[in-house]
Amino acid sequence: MPDRPLLDGITVLDLASVGPAVRASRWLADWGADVVKVGPVPKDAGVQIVPPAYAYSAQRGMRRVLLDLKSDGGRGAFLRLAADADVVIESFRPGVVDRLGIGFDDVSTVNPGIVYCSTTGYGQTGPRSGWAGHDLNYLAVGGYLHCSGRAAGGGPALPGATIADSAAGGLHAVAAICAALVARATTGEGTYLDVSIADGVLSLMSLAVDEYLAEGTEPGPRHGLLTGRYAWYDLYEAADGGWLTVAAIEPRFFANLCRALGAERWLDHQYDDDAVDAMRVDFAAAFSTRHRDDWAAELGPADTCVSAVLEIPEVVADEQFGARGNFTEVTHPTAGTIRQVAAPLAGQVDASTLEVRDQSIPDTDRILAHAGLSATEIGELRDVGAIA
């Protein structure tokens, strides 16, 4: 464990409650940033979704301040906090923060070095910029669902994870924020970041999209090497009903797989489209003769690129993740001890040492006092309902 986390000394103001922006601040906190959640005062509490205690890693290592951003006092208090912050993350509809007086121009006036990240579904511009949406919508418009496998009824299958929120949105925002912080270290200048989740999905789909742009082919389910065109990149059911993934792309791995399955007749036909169906039948027949874990134990370490499809309880108990320290325990003030996924950048922050606060009990006074507000000023703001 390093003496100093990578983002130690970086302060983040997070105006979001759920979704990609919160995923971004979660990663930043796990890498050592001081994340302050900015929420509404009780009279406006219904404007934000309150996630379950376990969600977003129970907001470990984060503090919370409650401000009425529609009031002069609340807006002024936010700008006082922003003056000493490094990053602001928000996920309102385009134009909202500017109307509130807390947009990039407002914040950069008091803090020219601010990295201001707006995370929205479709971005700040374009004909869909004002549309509401969620993970599934962004996967749809970015081409992901069309190129994925099909459900029983023939339509695109629902994904098993919020890929758009996590990778196309959250990690997209994290990468942009970290790049902007690096640039600021050289120039001293802040940056406005317009992070679109749909743009992120498009980037994730670049292999398929670039193929279409270069060659005119139209990718779809089982069109390409990585989407199931060939028998050696597919899923197969084992004798016990469990499933195995096969991804033997390299010729050496493909040859090892054929020999292990007793399918040597296909050794010289890896990319033979005429052999695909018969090869898939042979592979399926072979895998159906033994249990999933037996195959995984034999083929996993044998350079065949075969692994078991694990259910979530199996993932949690998996020896590889355990050896990597990918799970931790934290103590929540109301929910008790919670086991959860640890920091995603191994070895940077021991998540078990991060304090987990009851998010319903804000730390407003202490946060504002640290920003330079006097006890009298804080009291006056509370009296008029600008803070809570």
Domain boundary among 287, 317, 347: 317
Q: Give me the domain span that covers residue 234.
A: 228-317
For residue 361, what pLDDT is reported?
84
Segment 245-253 mean pLDDT: 98
Residues 87 and 191 in one domain: yes
Of residues 352 and 223, the one with the higher pLDDT is: 223
In the predicted model, what is the mean pLDDT of residues 306-325?
95
Can you give the CATH number for the domain in which 265 is found?
A: 3.30.1540.10
- Asked whether residue 308 is assigned to any structural domain, the reply reads yes
Does residue 197 sit within a domain? yes
Residue whose C-alpha is closest to residue 177's, from 11, 1, 351, 346? 11
Instruction: Give the model confidence (pLDDT) of 26-47 as tens digits.
Output: 999 989 999 999 999 987 666 6
Q: What CATH code is carried by the domain that includes residue 149?
A: 3.40.50.10540
35 and 156 share a domain? Answer: yes
**Is there a contact between 288 and 237 (Cβ–Cβ < 8 Å)?**
yes
Domain assignment of residue 214, yes or no = no
Question: pLDDT digits over 268-300, tens only?
Answer: 999 999 999 999 999 999 999 999 999 999 999
Q: Which residue has the tokens 């791995």?
A: 253
- How many independent structural domains does the chain possess? 2
Instruction: Based on the fold, state whether residues 277 and 358 are members of the same structural domain.
Output: no
* Residues known to be catalytic: 134, 165
* Residue 91 and residue 115 share a domain: yes
pLDDT value of position 345: 66
Average pLDDT, the chain: 93
308 and 331, same domain (yes or no)? no
Q: Helix H segments across the chain?
A: 20-30, 72-83, 96-100, 104-110, 135-141, 144-147, 163, 172-187, 197-204, 206-215, 251-260, 276-287, 292-299, 312-317, 319-323, 364-370, 375-383
Q: Is residue 217 part of a domain?
A: no
Let me know if residue 216 belongs to a domain. no
Domain boundary among 298, 317, 336: 317
Residue ending a domain, choose from 317, 339, 366:
317
- pLDDT tens per residue, range 148-186: 989 888 899 999 999 999 999 999 999 999 999 999 999
Amino acid symbol at 296: A
**Is residue 346 domain-shared with residue 246, that is, in the same domain?**
no
Q: What are phi and psi of 150, to 5 degrees?
A: -105, 145
Domain presence at residue 37: yes
Q: Are residues 345 and 257 in the same domain?
A: no
Are 57 and 109 in the same domain? Answer: yes
Q: Which of 26-35, 242-251, 324-333 has the lowest mean pLDDT?
A: 324-333
Share of the chain above pLDDT 70, in %: 96
Q: How far apart are CA 54 and CA 56, in angstroms?
A: 7
* DSSP bridge pairs for 237: 243
pLDDT band at 386 (very low <50, low <70, confident <90, very high): very high
Q: b or e along 329-350 (b: 16 or more beta carbons within 10 Å of the residue's beta carbon)?
A: ebebeeeeebebebbeeeebbe
**Residue 351 scores a pLDDT above 90:** no
What confidence score (pLDDT) does residue 347 get?
56
Clarify whether residues 78 and 174 are in a common domain.
yes
Q: Which has the closest alpha carbon to 231: 160, 285, 193, 175?
A: 285
Q: Are residues 188 and 57 in the same domain?
A: yes
Do 126 and 16 have their domain in common?
yes
Contact 38, 15 (CB under 8 A): yes
